[in-house]
Amino acid sequence: MSALTRFLGDSPLRVIVKLLVVSFIVGFLMSAFHWSPWDIFDALRDMVLRIWNMGFAALGNFFGYIVLGAVIVVPAFLILRLLSYRR
């Protein structure tokens, strides 16, 4: 088995035929849906930006929830500690 065959996983001719068939199917589907490679690239970029922005918004919400909960939890903790300290 040659190094090229080992690298490709099959004979070079069979790999070329498989790539041509898959490329034809993908090209046909992209044409049917009126997609271009730039449309896919733009959609992926927009998805990453939405996740990025959503991540920072979620981080802001996370800290907001902590502060909101701390307004109740910290005084309750201090009151409970003071009451148990007297015993």
Q: What is the pTM of this model?
A: 0.51
Domain ranges of the chain: 1-35, 37-87
Per-residue pLDDT tens over the stretch 53-67: 887 777 777 888 888
Cα 26–Cα 27–Cα 32 angle in degrees, nearest 5: 100
Residue 32 has pLDDT above 90, yes or no: yes
Residue 50 has pLDDT above 90, yes or no: no
The predicted structure's pLDDT at residue 83: 83
Give the pLDDT band of residue 16 (cuts 50, 70, 90).
very high
Rg over alpha carbons for the chain, rounded to the nearest Å, is: 29
Residue 87 has pLDDT above 70, yes or no: no
